Chains A and B, each alone.
Chain A
Amino acid sequence: MEQKQLTGSQAVLEACIAEGVSTIFGYPGGAIMPIYDALYDYKEKLSHILVRHEQGGIHAGQGYARSSGKVGVVFATSGPGATNLVTGLADAMIDSTPLVCITGQVFAHLLGTDAFQETDVINITMPVTKWNYQITDAEEIPSVLAKAFYLARSGRPGPVLIDISKNAQLQKFNYEGYTPCQHIRSYRPKPVIRKGYIDEAVSLINNAKKPLVIFGQGVILGKAEKEFKKFIEKSGMPAAWTILGLSALPTDHPQNVGMLGMHGNYGPNVLTNECDVLIAVGMRFDDRVTGRLDKYAKQAKIIHLDIDPSEIDKNVKATVGVWGDCKETLPLLTLGIEQKDRSEWLAVFADYAKQEYEQCIQPEMYPSSEEMTMAEVIRNINEITEGNAIMVTDVGQHQMVTCRYAKFNESRSNVTSGGLGTMGFGLPAAIGAKFGAQDRTVIAVIGDGGFQMTLQELGTIMQTGVDVKIVILNNQFLGMVRQWQDLFHDKRYSFVDIQSPDYIMLAKSYGVAGEKVEHRKDLVAAVQRMLSHKGSFLLEVMVGKENNVFPMVPQGCSVSEIRLK
């Protein structure tokens, strides 16, 4: 067995290497200095990206995890460094993103004394981490980090935070090598699959006249895209997605009937309340998807596949709860279900799609107004990328428009803040997504509000030379809030009128090329220039100030009350 003296800090970095980490996002500070000192000697093996703010660091870690499927690793110091991670942790927790965050902590003998930059990060982050732990002795580092990586990525993934006191980082101990963790007595990553509910689900599907499959990020997290495709193809079922499930099934798949929820497509929303069997795969019935719960799919038998038992019956009562990893449960279902032609049922969706196209989509994608629309910008991007880019979005109108209209050919191509709706997520997440998938084009579509929340990360782009295409859809408003004020608050536009700096000049000051488009005639060429530009590029497009995103299921309404205007 390997026997050598290492410091705690070195053991942290050895653990990262053993876990296959290639990129760390972080920001140094007093309490994490020993780890950064050790990092100086590990520069060859571990690439560290210096961000401009810890929130940027953790969102980058999330983007990295989402595009690569690997665990994102983030370093931050104690106190403010650690508290700046909280938003990202909450975001990663609700969107099941695997992260290992390492924070420095004051010397163990100073714990609880209100020492400089001391904060009780373990208790602060408890509700927003899958697991967290404080290390005060270096000997614990290898086993605790092994546990951290295992917990972050196994079962339903999530963020893990490990807080390491400065003395433990400095402490020398006998390092006996790194053993990955494969089992924790009190933790079951996936529930045992029972034949009984597989049989029940199969029989419900086989007897269904109008089954509808709705899928979420579980398909992507379970790396079950192929299994999912086989499942829906065998019995010809229509499949609709949540915004985190987006890109698990190619946009142009004939059975892909579109997006669910508040700004989703017409057909899947209305027909949720007409299907006879609703098959939910790796999704958690968020209120933005279900609308009013007591009027949600009441006529349907519900089959719910989830790896997390606490999701079954949490929001929507399942007729059959299929506990398990969908990579394993989907093939079992596929085996049992009959080959069916459901073209008549699919035609109902097509009919709704046609109505929606005429009333909403066509006027948005090919507007007759002088003002540009967000949707036509996305259409122009689609035409050039042909659906091969990773689209990263922030939060708001542009996010809904991008999710609705962007084209996707492969999985892990849509990176967005879904559950938490974190404005400011887009730019740093795009940086991380690019590091996680370096051979792919990464386009960040961001609103003028969200961009101003984390624009300091332009500095990270400048310093690393990472190639991220940034599209700011500028409507000079906090658009989604304005839309609600327009529709539900008598147009009382309270503090949504937001001014922007000169983004092109701003980008230039960070060494990033940019262009502003104010007229339709300049749009195509500008998008082309952006995508063929070597290195990062910022494209600002001035879009209609008061455009609303439709269709919309107003809050408190049933999904069948979806409005087209």
Chain B
Amino acid sequence: MNHNTEKQEYTITVYTENQVGLLNRIAIIFSRRKINVESLNTSPSEVQGIHRFTIVVMESRDVVLKVVRQIEKQVEVLKAYFNTNEEIVWQELALYKVLSEEITEKVKVERLLREFGARAVAIRKDFIVFETTGHREETNKLMKALEPYGLVEFVRSARVAIIKESAGFHEKLKDFEKREPGEEVIENEYLGKRETVFTM
């Protein structure tokens, strides 16, 4: 099979300004092409004021390359990268809620925690919440293990990923600034001031 047209998981990392509406601008690039976003995370990055999107899609390299260029074309996007799973270190976090009565009666909780590298983050008389981080297979395993004992709720976070080869974005950003020095970008300074804006 062709490496360029074969579908596989790609993790797209996007560095952006922190601007209202940008999530939508990025999202419509996928939806316009009928590409399903498997996982999406937004967070601060290593650079203050710069946001970092981590997006996972199941697509071919050809398609991902084009999509990434479209993302990079957006005015408020500084840089976008895409990587295969081999090129990144990634984690997802999962939470599991089980009924205390059931789980303490039937399972050796201590063994369970050790075996799956889980932690108990909340222990109450009526329920317990476990937490694990890892790849999908790992968080799935604990879900399977807990299913017979009345798993009441399960939730998994989006993927967060670090690019192995990347030397970080900070230096690059300084480079951009050095090459094309100019005034500070206009941030939306009214962000978070909804109250005052709305009472005018």
Q: Tell me, rounded to whole Å, the shortest Cβ–Cβ distance linking A71 to chain B.
A: 16
- Whole-angstrom CA separation of A140 from B186 in the bound complex: 9
Which B residue's beta carbon lies closest to that of A110?
A: B198
Please give, as numbers and ranges, the residues of chain B lying within 8 Å of A108 by CB-CB distance. 197-198, 200
Q: How far is the CB of B71 from chain A (nearest CB, A)?
A: 9
Q: Considering the complex, give the chain B residue whose CB is closest to the CB of A109.
A: B198
Give residues of chain A (181-205) contacting chain B, Cβ–Cβ below 8 Å: 181-188
Q: Quick check: A184 and B28 within 8 Å, CB to CB?
A: no
Q: Which of B16-24, B111-119, B120-128, B146-154 contacts A (4 or more CB under 8 A)?
A: B16-24
Complex Cα spacing A134 to B188, Å:
10
Q: State whether B75 touches A151 (Cβ < 8 A).
A: yes
B197 neighbours in A (Cβ, 8 Å): 108, 136-137
- State A314–B63 Cα separation when bound (angstroms): 9
**Contact assessment for B190 and A186 in the assembled complex, using a CB-CB cutoff below 8 Å:** no
**Best-surrounded residue of A123, A131, A140, A185 (most CB of chain B within 10 A):** A185
| Residues on the A chain within 8 Å of B65, using CB | 313
Q: What residues on A are CB-neighbors of B180 within 8 Å?
A: 183, 188
Complex: A185 Cα to B200 Cα, angstroms: 31
Residue pairs across A and B with CB atoms within 8 Å: the count is 73
Tell whether, in the assembled complex, residue B182 and residue A122 are in contact, meaning their CB atoms are under 8 Å apart.
Answer: no
Whether B76 is near chain A, meaning CB under 8 Å from some CB there, is yes
Q: Which of A275-311 contact B (CB under 8 A)?
A: 308-310
Using Cβ atoms and an 8 Å threshold, which residues of chain A touch B28? Answer: 126-127
Q: Is A144 an interface residue (CB 8 A)?
A: yes
**Interface code A166-191, partner B: CB below 8 Å = 1, 0 otherwise?**
01000100000000011111111000
> In whole Å, how far is B74's beta carbon from the nearest beta carbon of chain A?
8
- Decide yes or no: A186 and B16 within 8 Å by CB, A109-B199, A131-B75, A308-B73 being known contacts: yes
Q: Are B198 and A185 in contact (CB under 8 A)?
A: no
**Distance (Å) between the CB of A162 and the closest chain B CB?**
13
The A interface is mostly helix, strand or loop, or mixed, namely: mixed
Which of B24, B72, B182, B199 lies in contact with A185, CB distance below 8 A? Answer: B182
Q: Tell me the bound Cα distance from A136 to B20 in angstroms.
A: 13
User: From residue A145, how far is it (CB to closest CB) to chain B in Å?
Assistant: 11
For B69, B75, B77, B181, which residue has the most chain A Cβ atoms within 10 angstroms? Answer: B75
Confirm or deny: A516 has a beta carbon within 8 angstroms of a beta carbon on chain B.
no
Q: How far is the CB of A237 from chain B (nearest CB, A)?
A: 29
Sorting the interface of chain B by its residue count into under 10, 10 to 19, 20 to 34 or 35 or more gives 20 to 34
Contacting B76 at CB < 8 Å: which of A111, A134, A186? A186
Check A309 against B69 for contact (C-beta < 8 Å): yes
B144 CB-CB contact with A under 8 Å: no
Q: A509 on the interface (CB 8 Å rule)? A: no
What residues on B are CB-neighbors of A109 within 8 Å? Answer: 198-200
Give chain A's interface residue range (CB within 8 Å of chain B): 20 to 34
Is B78 in contact with chain A by the CB < 8 A criterion?
A: yes
Find chain A residues with CB under 8 A from B16 CB.
Answer: 186
How many angstroms from the CA of A310 to the CA of B78 in the assembled complex?
15
**Bound-state Cα–Cα, A181 to B177, Å:** 16
Nearest B-chain residue to A168, judged by Cβ: B200
Return the CB mask of B185-197 against A: 1 if under 8 Å, else 0.
Answer: 1100010000001
Per-residue CB contact flags for chain A residues 113-124 toward chain B (1 = under 8 Å, else 0) read 000000000110
Q: Contacts A127-B28, A186-B16 hold; do A143 and B186 have CB atoms under 8 A apart?
A: yes
Given contacts A126-B24, A137-B190, A143-B186, contact A186 B69 (CB under 8 A): no
The interface bits of chain B over 1-33 (1 if a CB of A lies within 8 angstroms of the residue's CB, else 0) are: 000000000000000110011001100100010
Of chain B, the residue at the smallest CB distance from A314 is B66
B136 to chain A, nearest CB (A): 31
Least Cβ–Cβ distance between A189 and chain B, in angstroms: 10
Interface CB pairs A-B, < 8 A, 29: A107-B200, A108-B198, A108-B200, A109-B200, A126-B21, A127-B32, A132-B21, A134-B20, A136-B190, A136-B197, A136-B200, A140-B190, A143-B186, A144-B186, A183-B181, A184-B75, A185-B17, A185-B78, A185-B176, A185-B182, A185-B185, A186-B75, A187-B76, A309-B72, A310-B66, A310-B69, A310-B70, A313-B65, A313-B66
Query: Contact residues of A with B, CB < 8 Å?
Result: 107-109, 111, 122-123, 126-127, 130-132, 134, 136-137, 140, 143-144, 147, 151, 167, 171, 181-188, 308-310, 313-314
Given contacts A183-B183, A186-B185, 20 further A-B contacts (CB under 8 A): A108-B197, A109-B200, A126-B25, A130-B75, A134-B20, A137-B197, A140-B186, A167-B200, A171-B200, A182-B182, A183-B182, A184-B75, A184-B185, A186-B16, A186-B76, A186-B78, A187-B75, A309-B72, A309-B73, A310-B69
| Chain B residues within CB distance 8 Å of chain A | 16-17, 20-21, 24-25, 28, 32, 65-66, 69-70, 72-73, 75-78, 176-177, 180-186, 190, 197-200
